[in-house]
Every structure is written in C-alpha cells, then in structure tokens.
Amino acid sequence: MEIKDRSKLLTEQRNPRTLNIDCKTTLEIIDIINAEDARVFTAVHRERAHIAKAADLIVDAMRNEGRLIYVGAGTSGRLGILDAAECPPTFGTDPNMIIGIIAGGEKAVFQSIEGAEDFPENGAKDIQQKEVNHRDVVVGITTGGTTPYVMGALFEAKKRNAKTIFLCCNPETIPNFEVDVTIRPIVGPEVITGSTRMKAGTVTKLILNMLTTTAMIKIGKVYENLMVDLRAMNVKLTDRAERIIMTASGVNREDAKKLLETAYGNVKVAIVIQKLSLDYAEAKKRLDANGGFIRKVLLNPY
C-alpha cells in the first residue's frame, strides 16, 4: 500500500492533548507522557482476540518445526530483533526458531538507516535469503501500516505459503494482498507528532511479548509460571535455575544444585527426577514422550 501523503495517517497526526507540552514543567511533561502511555493497555485489550489467533498460528508452526520471523524497519525492526534475542536464554529455544529481520541489516540495529525501508524488493530478498516456507510464520511490523520493505517481505512470505501476520497502529491501512491475521492496536497520535517510537513502540513491545510468551507456554517451556527451559549460561541464570528447582520441588539450595548437576543443567529433567524419584535417562524419556510438558509427566507418572 503506497501513500505519498502520510498526513492523514493517525500515527502522523497531532495530539490535541499535547499541543502545549513545550510550555510545561518537567513533572508536567512526565505526567502527560504517562497519561498517554496508559492508553496503550486499552488498545492491546481490544486486540486480544487477534493476538490470540496469531499466537495459535505461531504455536502450530513451532510444533511443526517452523519458525517465527519478525520483519520491520527502524523501531519496529529493532523490537522484533529484541524479542527474538530474548527467547533463547529465557526459554531455551534454538536461536533459529525466532528471528528478527530489519531493513538495512545489522547496521540498522544500532544506527538509523531511514532510506532502507523504501524498497519492497529488499524485504522480499531478505525473506528469500531466510528460505521462508509453508511451516513458518512471518510477522510484518509497520506501525504506520505502509512501510514498503515490510510489505515486500509479507508478500513474498505469502507467495511461499507461510502464515502472515500484519501488525500496525493505523485504523485504515491494509496490505493490497491477503494476510492471515491483522493486529491493529489503535493508540492514537503520539505525544510528539509522528514519533512512533513512543506509544506505537510500546504497544508493539507488549504484543510481541504476548505472542512469544504465549507460544512458549503452549509448547511446554513453562511449568506453573516458572521458566523451566532456561539455559543456565551465567551466574544469574544458574541462580535462577536453582531457585526454580527449589520452588517447584520443595528442596533446599544444596539439593537443587545436585539435582541440576544430575540433570546436566536441564531444569525440567531435574524437577521430574526429584518429583518422581527417577534417574536422568528415565526422566528425560518421560519428558520427551509428553512433549516436554512437566505437568503432563506428573499427571501420567507411569
């Protein structure tokens, strides 16, 4: 969807509640921004059914060896990369399961490359390079709903029979081709006109968190509300892994350390070992047989 005059887009309009923000005290400015940010949560709530539908597509993909691929430019691209980067240490995912792609490539993560978003063929090319296929889900993030790079990527993904999700913050912008799910949180004009790194960025971050966290829960990487598939790769995460075992199993710190060692650093296996008095091999076997879900193993202990 090409729009030469973007002045009609809601994300580009002036916010009547912030017209005099340049005359305010520091605290008043903070209060104005805070009040505008509060509108984000209502916008997310209104889109919850579409977010749930998108999450289910992602779960289906992951259960069938597919990937979640975020595509965006500028802030949108960086937020996708951020969400993708946070999943391996938190949920023990393969780094290739969730991927973030940004217009302009790696350099654009750290430095603005504004012209990179103007070429749909580059979006298509990046999707081709990732060898996107029917097992994958591609989320195109474009708060204005018009970014050519993102549209090119989504269209190429659709051609390759991937599932496609369109995330934008304008009420009227739509792709000129069919997508599987549209998520459209309407947060209104920004505090600073056109600065979509603000409310639009915040609502994007919240929704991406929802998509991946929900997917991780649904594929067995959470037990109760504990991140039982985390990788204990540093002091903080090792401490967290031990505390998770303590919480889930009711053991003390020293026993949690021993369990983690017995389980070769696998928190899930450590919990099952303790709860069902099994050795490593049997605990791992039962987890594998139940799709990695601790709760299912405990409900079917034999």
Is-contact 72 43, C-beta < 8 A?
Answer: no
CATH number of 6-218: 3.40.50.10490
Say whether 86 is catalytic.
Answer: yes
Given the residues 117, 156, 190, 242, select the one marked as catalytic.
117
Strand partners, 166: 140, 182
CATH number of 235-299: 1.10.8.1080
For residue 72, the 8-state DSSP code is E
* CA 108 – CA 85 distance, rounded (Å): 16
Say whether 190 is catalytic.
Answer: no
Across 142-294, the runs of DSSP E, i.e. the strands, are 163-167, 181-183
Strand partners, 254: none
Given the residues 12, 28, 65, 86, select the one marked as catalytic.
86
Q: What is the pLDDT of residue 67?
A: 98
Q: Nearest-CA neighbor of 154 among 135, 126, 116?
A: 126
pLDDT in tens, 99-140: 999 999 999 899 888 788 989 999 999 999 999 999 999 999
pLDDT in tens, 71-80: 999 999 999 9
Could you tell me the residue ranges of all domains in the chain? Answer: 6-218, 235-299
Structural tokens at position 152: 């090119």
* CA 225 – CA 216 distance, rounded (Å): 11
pLDDT in tens, 155-199: 999 999 999 999 999 998 889 999 999 999 999 999 999 999 999
* CA 42 – CA 288 distance, rounded (Å): 40
Q: What is the pLDDT of residue 277?
A: 95
